[in-house]
Structure 1
Amino acid sequence: MMPMEANLMALTWDSIADGIIATDTQGVIMDINTAALELIDIEWHEAVNQPLDKILSLHDETTDISLNGFWEKTLKEGKKVNLPRNTKLLGRNQDYYLAAKFSPIQRLGQPPQGVVVVFRDITQQKMHEEQLHLYRMALEQSPFSVVMTDIDNQIVYVNREFIELTGYGMEEVMGRDPGFLKSGSTPEKTYQRMWETITRDDVWQGEFYNRKKNGRYYWEKAIVAPITSPGGIINYYLAIKEDVTDQKAMEEELRRTREQADRNLKKSQYYMEQLENARRAANAANKAKSEFLANMSHEIRTPLNGIIGMIELTAATDLTREQQDNLDIIRICGNNLFSVINNVLDFSKIESGKMEIDRVDFDVQEWFMQSLLVHQAQATKKGIDLVAVLDPHIPNCLLGDAKLLQQVMNNLIGNAVKFTETGCVKVTMDYEGEEGGILWVKIQVKDTGMGIPKDELPRLFRSFTQLDGSITRRFGGTGLGLAISRQLVEMMDGTIRAASVEGEGSTFTVTLPFEQAMQQVDSLPENERSFMAASDIGQKWTILVVEDDPINQTVIRSLLKLKGYQIHCANDGKEAVSAWESLRPDLILMDIQMPAMDGIQATGAIREREKGQPSRTPIIALTAHAIHGDRERFLASGMDEYVSKPVEMDRLYHAINRLLDPPEEVGLKPLKQKRYTEPNNYLPVEAEQLMAKAVEGFIPDMFSLLDRLHQQLFEEDVDQIERLAHQVKNRAVTVGELDIKNQAFKIELAARKHALQDARSAYNALKQSFESYVSFAGQQMENIREGGK
């Protein structure tokens, strides 16, 4: 070989990108090129004259063994030998996946003179293959149907879900246009828009109405996207589709149900059952139910707080004995209504068995008489006798849940009085015996009313059930009372049953187990009422009341002033933070749902400013939010206590005293001791003055609020829309305008759901309601002026 040819061969040898090693017949390396030295990470003089198996260290990843002797196998068989698929080259600093071929070095007809090994690094190729395999597995196991077509719209791939959904086999679809799935019902414009979108390298989303191999039709929600090369050229189209036939059917069923409900309100029971079936079928309805309960809790508790607060204010004035007795009955009714609201709003909690039963001592005679007293006025008004018989063998003090039991009694006695026109209602409480330390009591409520048809008795204790539509129209009610009563009695390990003769009357019997209390209950003397005069308190603390409702603000302020506290008020969260910074009050009563900044945000802002300070201001959540879990949510936000509306003043006073004057504990930081000693000169506000103050400025305020609400609807700021609607609702409550309140409430809910179209529709209705109110108010003012002339 000429020197030039030798140099050319050497240059070629070192220029080849693959690693090349030549050995003799003993497997000793005779030469190695530059690519091989770089892959192995070794110098030329370290490799030459060394055994191949020592320099080319190979490892099978699958079997976890070293690979040697391939050069011997090549010489023995006299043909090329390839390495196994998962072979790795163990380098000094890094391992590589390797593809290698061992070939004998020989002239035609002569024995081999050695072996040449040609190998390359396939690590990146291996990773790409594994990645592609992973992608393919993901597509095959996807719950969605996947179709890939080429640039001519011919199918090149479908996954398993596509085969199962359509019923076509793989061999039936490959190479075909997907148009064979068309049902003929999808508008051609849909396909035109899809092709216009994906051919300009955009993603298209839409729906198809297609047909399976067996002829059945189905809805598909599809996302179609182009697949482009690195150069930006479209090579394939990928469609990912979801079968939404059941969802469409459910939406259509809900739509038809709503339309039918609008056309015929008399069939409300049927629609209730249909909606309940739809609720169980759709997970989203659970959220709607919780939202409804939370909002209804807030809507009912806010005005009820004003009612109970006015009772307490009136109780602090000079009253005759008859007035005091009447007020006591009103208070009992209010408290009972409070208890009923708690249980009705927590109906789902009762059904799930999560309602907790209290076991406390209670005075049987006092409880029994209170249960009857609240129904005496209605019975007298109807001209029927309300008779009570208490067995003297029943101990005076029992252990049980008196509040829940009183709710059962209210339902039974209330129904008996409601459905009795002449005669009497007789309530008896009898001793039934004792067994194993458990005392059994039977309570019966018997009336001479209309009675219950025999075929209606089996469904009497079902939820939302009444005898017929005429009962609803004549007597009202939700049909929940007896269902709740049954569940409460069963939770207390008792039984309830009904017997009736149509036209003669009904008898409801409740049998319950009790434990006898260890000691008798001593009633407080009449003069020791929880609402004490301010002079009994002496010194007072500074309390900041944060409340956006003017009635509740005035009631709470008046009640607390009677206790001797120094009161300041803020109308929303922003005012609360500013007032806290300037006043540094001893305690804050914080409403939750307010405009501008809600109670949780205001608490967070105050807690953030308190960081690094030696003490912190106690904050009590004073709110109409009373659904299960609200207390935990408010405490987690940084508040110290929670009192629900309508406010039980004893409970509020207890919470305030506990936070302002806590018991001494190890490591407890002392609160700021700031007291005021000036005498108390505050008197309760008269109810008429309270309402006049609430109504004052209603129309100017509403004009301003509606203008701001209209602006926010234009700007589509849902947070501001919700806050302004809440303000409108509260203003409407102060003047008793339920139509305005209801429309504002609809806007509030729509904003919370980001349903701007619904919010705008409700705004138009709200504006019409307000215009009607302004017209009415103007007419009333004109009548007053004419009457005064």
Structure 2
Amino acid sequence: MSKIEKPVNWAKRALEFIAGLSAVEKYSNWPAIMAESMANLKRLSGASSVLVVKQDDELTVRVLLGDSTYPSFVDPSVVRPYAGIREPLFLQSPFSEIDSGLKILIKECKSAAVLPVDEEAIRGVVLMCWGDSIDFSSDLKEFVTAALIRIRETCRLASLFFSMDELTVRFNTILSTVPQGIAFTDNSGNNGWVNHKAAALFHIPQGHVTPLVLSEAMRDLREKADNREEILETGNQLFKSKEKIIDNWQWIYSEPEVLVLSVSSRPTITDYSSGMLWIFDDITTNYLAEQRLKELNVELEEKTKLAEERNLAKSQFLANMSHEIRTPMNGVIGMTSLLSRTQLDPDQFDYVESIRISAEALLEIINEILDFSKIESGKLDLEEHPFVIARVIEETYDLLSTKAHEKNLDLLYIVEPEVPQEVIGDITRIRQIVVNLVGNAIKFTDHGEILTSIRVADKDGSLYTLEFSVRDSGIGIPEDKMDRLFNSFTQVDASTTRKYGGTGLGLAISAKLIERMNGRVWVDSKEGVGTTFSFTIQVQAATRIKQFKRETALKDLSGKSILIVDDNLTNLRVLSKTCEQWGMRPTTYESGRKVLEENDDMAFDIAVLDMLMPGMDGIELAKEIRKINQNLPLILFSSAGQFPEDKKAYRKLFAGMIEKPIKNNYLQKILIENLSDHVDERKPALAKNIVPQSPIPADPAQVSILVAEDNLINQKIITRTINNLGYSCDVVSNGQEVLASLERQRYDLIFMDIQMPEMDGIEATRRIRNEFKGAQPLIIAMTAAAYDDDRQSAMDAGMDDYMTKPFNFDEFSTKFTGWVG
């Protein structure tokens, strides 16, 4: 082994190598630095060659700083064994310790040193080769180790430089891309920086600036703002605050063009420095949009207020219009009602009836328009009172049965047993919906039947969703006209030659009422076959339900056989199902002939017979049944409303008679009366309503009546109506005259108009209740106003009852006799 001829101071050479790398100021050209340092290492070590083998990635390993005799790329396995090794390896030929790939690079070298480099960004090995065999003394090894340590430090510094450079590029790219202006200044007064947006805003160069320049630029920008005083005040508060944080600090400019800046500030504090970061965001577009939105909101509030005022004015106008229209309508209907009770020849009576019918039709139109206007203006309030659900249909049928009878239509209804008998809701509005649907069904049906049914669609505790259906056998609705049904002021047939009249408001009003009751409405129809209107509403079941006496029904009806004869199949089905609910055993027939053919002994507990049937009517069938069974109770029901005059001799055949449409309450009552074992507890099947005893005596001579009405026509109507009832009255025209009359004498009953000149009926009633402490008169309000608030105002003032104009003789008579006699 050869030796180096002169003693070498390896420690001095190590310091020289370290000093050479320490002189590097910038690491941007790392390959040049490595080339220079490796050349220096070669010189100081006496090596014949120094190679840098660098791993670029998992698949690429390059040979750097070698001549053309060395390959440019080698297999990655060449450097893989040295990963994680921190100390250099000193090798002598024949190099059995190293990989074959590395042997290729060493070539004919006799001695070699492998310096592993395993830093974060730079990995590989440095190969030092000597052509002769050398003695790796401890000093030489220390030199190589010191060189490796410095090489690694240089690699780390280079990696750090590259990372900082990458961050700087990214940071500058971000700052130059963001739409906000960004500025930084430190508290030392030595460093400041702005991006291009802030530089354009401040009119200074971008990049590094002195804090003094930046401060002056920001001050100039503040001074130009329209709200400079506000900015100054807020700025003082900001710098006095502990946090020194602010967001959305608006700087507003109108010159040279509108500009609004949203300024934010944050302190930036590290272990070595502190400063302030400023962000200037151009929010001009959003600011102008917000200002416009505020202006629109102000306009909207003004228009909403104006709309409410107009709505109120419209509501008041409609109320006044209603009063003004109803007042003369009261004259027309009242006078025709009085005239119809005088001696008239047939032609005259026909004329009077024509006037009455026309007036009532006009009143119906007025009511629909008024209802619609109340709904549209939000003035319609729903009431909440308990009522028997079957009353809705029964009262509807009572109202419309005459029209149905004129067309020989059967009115049928069924309430499913799951439906609560008594519910809480607005019976008036629910009945209004049903009246509209049933009225339309009668209008558009020439023969057949109308069936109204109620069932439970959904139930949540005591909250029921009830489904009403009104099915007719009428003309049906064309499919292409369905979309018009619930629109206001529209009709299926809007032509000038249409057969059926109306305002087109009924269904629209019904739909809105149903919506107010948390329901929906729909229709199924087939042209020429019939139509079914269905709707749902939500109601609460009444907690205190006044039910039928089920115990009596079970005891008196349960298990009893009942014969039902009717040529209408639907009516048969309805009556049969109703009787089954009561525990009875129904047997149904469509004709009397078939009953007689199949029943020799007529062994039934009771029979219900229809009056009008083809082939053999109910009376003829009753005569035949009596021949077979003398004791079978027979019930006759008829749409004619009364027993035929020419057959009154046969009235004794029947234990009772029920008028169509049949009411379940009456039917059950008459069945119980005829089947109950408690004969002494029976009541008349068709008992009249009993008027409660009145505090006013019945003797006309003892009753004093005062009428307060300013309209001359209405004065005549009311006076003559009272006279026709056998009473007399005094008349005054305003509230002051009422008070004056009460000063002179006592009155038992006052009919008080609401709207009168000088003093209205409300004020007059209050004065009467407060000032006349003796025997108080009964006061009945009379008004053409139709709002619920008007009725409530009358009641609150102390009135005892309420009448809505126009009213006819029968309506007035009913109200009058309810209080008198």
Q: What's the TM-score bracket when you normalise by the shorter of the two chains?
A: 0.3 to 0.5
Greater C-alpha Rg: 2
Give TM-score, length-normalised by structure 2: 0.36
